[in-house]
Amino acid sequence: MTVQTTNKGYVYLIGAGPGDPGLITVKGRDCLAKAQVVMYDYLANDELLRYAPKGAELIYAGKVGGEHNREQSQINEMLVQKALSGKVVARLKGGDSFIFGRGGEECEALVEVGIPFEIVPGITAAVGATSYAGIPLTHRGVTTSVAFVTGHEKKGKASSEIDWEGLSLGSGTVVFYMGVTNLPHIARSLMDHGRAPETPVALIRWGTRPEQEVLVGTLADIAEKARTAGFKAPAITVVGEVVSLRETLRWFDNRPLFGRSVMVTRGADQAGEFATKLEQLGAHTHCCPTIEIVPPQSYAALDEAISALDSFHWIIFTSYNTVQYFFNRLREHGLDSRALGRCRVCAVGPKTGAALEAYGIRPDLIPADYKAEGVVAAFAEMDMDGKWVLFPKGDRARDVIPEELGRLGAQVIAPVAYANRTPEEIPAEALAALEEKRLDCVSFTSSSTVQNLAAILGENRFLHLMEGVKVASIGPITSKTCRDLGLEVHMEPAEYTLDALAREMVSYFRQR
């Protein structure tokens, strides 16, 4: 290896875990945050790259088209050269670097030229994938030992280095890495050396990821089952009686939305909560903010209303955003919740009510129907003649509440508290999911989310990309907007909340 002598940097060899980005260690994440250069592998989840500092050099050292992008010697040399240029390098490898990860070879290259380094262990595929498949590697009364074995020995060897007899005669669990191609040879070798043909076997592909697939059989039939199913790498093979525990302990891939890919089209600051809820149900989510919530062009009307708060009988909040923007403006005036005095408070929906309770306010009224018409119906049962109502709203809010309460005799003041802005584009990852037909469902939580997505993509392209994608709408107003734009609505809950929308999605996909 040819090297240039210069100021030495530092290398972190980081195990990225088997696929789920949440399985990287805290230390691994922190080391990534220090890196000036990140060299990452095929099996390291791309989502982990967001932990790297902005401007860090990203180098892909994995596979392209199933073949290695670079030889191991080239990777070693690049690692050395980047460190010798004085850079902090994070070498991000799938699973654990020291378990069939060739991490030892990379460290030897660093030692040869005196580059300091640190090993950050990761969760290896045998541990992560089996846990997500509901297969314990050891289990009381079943087995107390486990072996990790390569299923892909170097070509051209005169004889195998695998102790087939030792692996076959014991009762322990055996996990083969990278062994799908050699599966017939592995199964035959174990049976030829004494392992019972009826021994349970599981193949786990893309373990811990939303794409996880598990195929169960026995030593006698697993190779044929894999061939029939077209089961491909990357996968591990688990051999042993512990595989029979999968049906009892299965938890990851039997969740109601497992394998479903869902796009969430809320504002960037609110999409996370709903996405997390869907992910807990097993879905693979793509956050696609189609709304940006921004301050209004002018606060003059809202400020005027705030200055006259003691003259209002009611204040109506229809969303989390109206609550946040109203109370932020109140704070700007040096006021807090006490400024509402005897003004009664209406909240549309439990989420809005919860947002108010964070400010110490318990709503006097939460209409049973969580849309504008429901608000009007609730106030129609009261004497509103001569009552003053403050209705802080978004710039795209419908006029139903002020118009209908006005017909009931109320004086309604409706200042704009915040504005909705349409982003210029959607995230590249979300667009790719649409274009590549990888989505099962798109969720819309307001008319604006539908209109904005159509505006960003262009209506013709929008309808083309939405072909075959199921539509989940939070309520009838949003559903009408969907239909007006040419979409069919497949899911709409009776209660217009995110929890109800998630339940409706579960019900719909369970039937299929």
Collapsing DSSP states into helix, strand and coil, what is residue 344? strand
Q: Which of 146, 33, 43, 28 is nearest to 94 (CA)?
A: 43
The answer to whether residues 478 and 484 touch, using CB atoms and an 8 Å cutoff, is no
Could you tell me if 264 and 270 are in contact, meaning their C-beta atoms sit under 8 angstroms apart? Answer: no
Identify the CA nearest to 57 among candidates 81, 35, 80, 24: 35
Length of the chain: 512
DSSP secondary structure letter of residue 399:
S
Q: Which of 327, 345, 344 is nearest to 336 (CA)?
A: 327
Residue 437 designated active-site = no
Structure tokens belonging to residue 97: 């670097």
Determine how many CB atoms are found less than 10 A away from the CB of residue 422: 13
- Residue of 1, 8, 27, 41 marked catalytic: 41
Strands 88-93 and 411-413: unpaired
310 as an active site residue: the answer is no
Q: Exposed (0-12), middle (13-18) or buried (19+): which is 291, by Cβ within 10 Å?
A: buried
> Which among 222, 232, 244, 257 has a CA at the least distance from the CA of 133?
244
Task: Tell me if the bond preceding 392 is cis, omega within 30° of 0.
Answer: no
Residue written as tokens 């498949």? 133
Active-site residue (options: 78, 178, 191, 269): 178
The whole-angstrom separation of Cα 322 and Cα 417 is 6
Active-site residue, selected from the candidate residues 8, 27, 34, 63: 63
Question: To which residue do tokens 């045998």 refer?
Answer: 126
Contacts (Cβ under 8 Å, ≥6 apart) of 446: 291, 474, 478
Question: Is 63 among the catalytic positions?
Answer: yes
Task: Classify strands 292-294 and 416-421 as parallel, antiparallel or unpaired.
Answer: antiparallel
Q: Just list the catalytic residues.
A: 41, 63, 178
